[in-house]
Amino acid sequence: MLTDAQLREALEKVLRQVQITSGRDCPQIGDATKPIGDLDAFDSLTAVEATVLLELELNCKIADGTPFISASGKRALTVAEAVERLAKLITAARAA
């Protein structure tokens, strides 16, 4: 099982990669950063792209959904919340 620190490191790496590849600035990323809202042009479509990149980075399947949006689909998550949701999504995918 991946640790929260490993998940956070991978999440931050992917966020930076998406922003830089898209030619956008990538500000300092902290636990309170909300990728959707705080990162330039990072939206729900970019979140899907980042989720696929996370699967590749972590070499694992992520259950249906994205770690950047709440389970209800109504709220953008902070990096700290996204790490927690990512752990749940990976666990759910492994159980399936």
Q: How many residues does the chain have?
A: 96
Nearest alpha carbon to residue 76 among 52, 53, 46? 46
Say how far residue 44 (Cα) sits from the centre of its chain: 11
User: What is the pLDDT, as a whole number, of residue 96?
Assistant: 81
Please compute the mean of the pLDDT values over residues 41-70 and round it to a whole number.
94
Number of domain units in the chain: 1
Query: Cβ neighbours of residue 63 under 8 Å, at least 6 residues apart?
Result: 89, 90, 92, 93, 96
Which secondary structure element, helix H or strand E, spans residue 11, and what is its range? helix 4-21
Structural domain including 17 reads 4-95
Q: Is the pLDDT of residue 65 over 90?
A: no
User: Rounded to whole angstroms, how far apart are CA atoms 12 and 79?
Assistant: 8
Least confident of 20-24, 72-76, 91-95: 91-95
